[in-house]
Amino acid sequence: MIKSLSLTKILRYCAIVRSIRYFESSSQSSTFSPESSTNSIPQQLPLIVSRQLEYPHIRYPSLQAWLETLGQKRDEKLGIVDLHPSIWQTSPRLDILYENIEWQKTYKTIDWAYTPPHHEYPNMRAKPWPQKGTGRARHKSRYGPQWKGGYKVNGPKGPTSFFYVLPKEKRIEGLCAALTVKLHQNDVHFVDSFDLPTHQPTYLQELSEDRFWGPSILFVDDTDIMPHNIMFACAKTEGFTLMPVYGLNVYSILKHTTLVLTIRALNKIEKKLLHALHSYDTQKDQPPPPPDEP
Amino acid sequence: MSLVLRNIIRRCPWTIINKGSLRFWSSNGQFPSHPMGTEEYENQPRKSITELPDELTEHGIKPKFISGYETTKDGWEWVDNILFKSKIPEPPNHPTPSGWIPPNPILARQWPYFVDRDRFHSYALYVRILPVMLEYWLHEQHRYYLNIFRRRVEYDIYAQRTRRFSLLELISGDIWALDHDLKNYLTKRVELTNDKSKELPILSQVDEIKRHILIDGEYEEWVADFLKEKGF
């Protein structure tokens, strides 16, 4: 630290500028509108970034959270992010969370228990000993249910599946409840992107320890193609998992102690959930008309 | 073949099987016996009504002339109006002739609670119907709470109908304050009607986890008026 102060200052400056540049270039494609502009001049931090929300709530204004970086170890906030109250301020419905978790556990299970019935046993017609004369009980075959090694009458028959699909409204409500619970327990962090300076897993581990980000972290990004550095770091670290938006589920959100979202992931999640909350039966929509014949 | 069929055939005399009481194959020797359901039959070009013989049309009447037609792509808006759309349109900011009133956000902010609208911009008021259940024994009638409950149940038994509840959902904020205000409003409304048969006390169940209030009785219209007064 004391050895090369100037070098660290330059590196830090470069890291900040690089992160801002990438942040602005990534924000142009999304619904951002940063009030301060231009790429070459370094801005004064923190930036205030406004975010337009669809379907604004009548009663509750938007929530606010810090925007952080993974590009440098030092915890400097880049700005503030607006969050929609319909997703991030709903009631913590424990019953719906429970139903979602039970569904995720049981819909994949198959019970393979099988007890063969009487007609799948060998030689059921042979009488072991005559009806009368011997002092023993009267039996018709050696494989009756009362015998050791005999068939079972009403036992489990074959693979039984516990597949069922939870209603869409409950799954959506479950995601919103899980996200509110995480946010209000200070376990959600918003990040500009997953670009790390090194691929060393110790960088990410020390960063998360300094910021008290918990033993298990769920990193959620927009697409399923991730930068190489974070992929390598998470692969080598136990407890860190990378996930695209389409893999988001209640069990993973609650299993991992912290949740780290990129701004692009946040936009996609909010758009999907709000469209689902404010529309009716999207499956019945007409498919798009085929292109006109030439 | 399955075990059951095999056993039947084993026990049946051969004459029945050969004569055709248990016939699995058609008389012409082909299987299936009719082409209906096959791809070739179903995908044939359909004939118009005029080409069908008289026997197959209804009551022997068939149209002798069908006018020609032309295909256009104009007027899609008339078709689009009828199609199903998952997107719910935004309602107007003024009361409509049907009786729908938009929410008043300025008035709604005053109260310590808030009742949200559902995705169709209507009140989250529903009816719940249950069969009559006599849950309390006769010898426990000296308990005041049970007396009230039994009176409500006996009213429904006297009216020979199922239990009716009105459910209010999507509540946020102080539920117990809303419950208190609702009960006061409904008791006043009941007194205004001057109907002695409706002098039963208003009982409600508050669920803090599911964020709903269940009121014993059919009070949907009065609860809707209460919500309109508060601006929800």
Q: What is chain B written as a DSSP string?
A: --HHHHHHHHHS-HHHHHHTTT--S-TTS-SSSS-TTSHHHHTSPPPPGGGS-GGGSGGG---S-----------HHHHHHHS--SBPPPPPSS--TTS-----HHHHTTSSEEE---TTSS--EEEEEE-----S-GGGTTSHHHHHHHHHHHHHHHTTS-EEEEEE--EEE-HHHHHHHHHHHHHHHHHHHT-GGG-----EEEETTTTEEEEES--HHHHHHHHHHHT-
User: Is A186 touching B (CB cutoff 8 A)?
Assistant: no
- Give domain status of residue B161, yes or no: yes
| CATH code where residue B226 lies | 3.30.780.10
- Give domain status of residue B205, yes or no: yes
Distance (Å) from the alpha carbon of B89 to chain A's nearest alpha carbon: 9
Domain that holds residue B198: 107-136+152-230
Q: How confident is the model at residue B191 (pLDDT cuts 50, 70, 90)?
A: confident
In the predicted model, what is the mean pLDDT of chain B? 78
Residues counted in chain A: 294
A with B: how many residue pairs have Cβ under 8 Å apart? 42
Q: Taking chain A, what is the end-to-end CA distance rounded to the nearest angstrom?
A: 69
Mean pLDDT of B116-136: 82
Give the pLDDT of residue A40.
30
- Give domain status of residue B179, yes or no: yes
Cβ neighbours of A94 in B, within 8 Å: 209
Which of the pair, A56 or B142, is modelled with greater confidence?
A: A56
Alpha-carbon distance A240 to A228, whole Å? Answer: 15
User: Is A91 touching B (CB cutoff 8 A)?
Assistant: yes
Collapsing DSSP to helix, strand or coil, A291 comes out as coil
User: Is B217 touching A (CB cutoff 8 A)?
Assistant: no
- Predicted ipTM? 0.72
- For residue B210, the one-letter residue type is K
Mean pLDDT of B198-226: 90
Domain ranges of chain A: 47-105+166-278, 110-123+140-161
Q: Is the pLDDT of residue B185 over 90?
A: yes
CATH topology of domain A47-105+166-278: Ribosomal Protein L4; Chain: A; (3.40.1370)
Cβ neighbours of B84 in A, within 8 Å: 281, 284-286
Pairing state of beta strands A63-68 and B113-115?
unpaired
Residues A180 and A89: beta-carbon distance below 8 Å: yes
Q: How confident is the model at residue B40 (pLDDT cuts 50, 70, 90)?
A: confident
If one counts the domains in chain B, the total is: 1
Backbone torsions φ then ψ of A246, nearest 5 degrees: -70, -10
Q: Is the pLDDT of residue A253 over 60?
A: yes
Inter-chain touch A59–B88, beta carbons under 8 Å: no
Which of the pair, A285 or B22, is modelled with greater confidence?
A: A285
Mean pLDDT of A74-85: 92
- Give the range among A15-19, A30-34, B11-15, B104-108 with minimum mean pLDDT: A30-34
Inter-chain touch B119–A280, beta carbons under 8 Å: yes
Cβ neighbours of B87 in A, within 8 Å: 279
Give the pLDDT of residue A285.
78
User: Is A59 touching B (CB cutoff 8 A)?
Assistant: yes
Chain A: residue nearest B111 by CA?
A59
Mean pLDDT of B208-222: 92
User: Is B103 touching A (CB cutoff 8 A)?
Assistant: yes
Give the pLDDT of residue B218.
87
Distance (Å) from the alpha carbon of B210 to chain A's nearest alpha carbon: 6
CB atoms inside a 10 Å sphere around CB A36? 13
- Give domain status of residue B208, yes or no: yes
Pairing state of beta strands A47-51 and A79-83?
parallel
Q: How confident is the model at residue A194 (pLDDT cuts 50, 70, 90)?
A: very high
- Give domain status of residue B111, yes or no: yes
Which of the pair, B125 or B161, is modelled with greater confidence?
A: B125
- Give domain status of residue B34, yes or no: no
Which of B81, B119, B120 is best to mutate for the A interface (most A CBs within 10 A)? Answer: B119
Cβ neighbours of A88 in B, within 8 Å: none
Mean pLDDT of A15-31: 46
Q: Is the pLDDT of residue A274 over 70?
A: yes
Give the pLDDT of residue B59.
61
Distance (Å) from the alpha carbon of B127 to chain A's nearest alpha carbon: 20
Q: How confident is the model at residue A239 (pLDDT cuts 50, 70, 90)?
A: very high
- Give domain status of residue B59, yes or no: no
Residues A13 and A42: beta-carbon distance below 8 Å: yes
- Give domain status of residue B1, yes or no: no
Give the pLDDT of residue A39.
34
Report how far apart, in Å, the C-alpha atoms of A234 and of each of A68, A110, A242, A256 are. 19, 32, 7, 14
Share of chain B above pLDDT 70, in %: 64
Q: Is the pLDDT of residue A1 over 50?
A: no
Give the pLDDT of residue B42.
72
Cβ neighbours of A59 in B, within 8 Å: 105, 108-109, 114, 116, 172
- Owner of token pair 């498919």: A287
Mean pLDDT of B144-155: 66
Which of the pair, A197 or A289, is modelled with greater confidence?
A: A197
- Give the range among A206-215, A232-241, B9-18, B160-169 with minimum mean pLDDT: B9-18
Task: Give kind and range of the element (H or E) at residue A79.
Answer: strand A79-83
Chain A: residue nearest B76 by CA?
A289
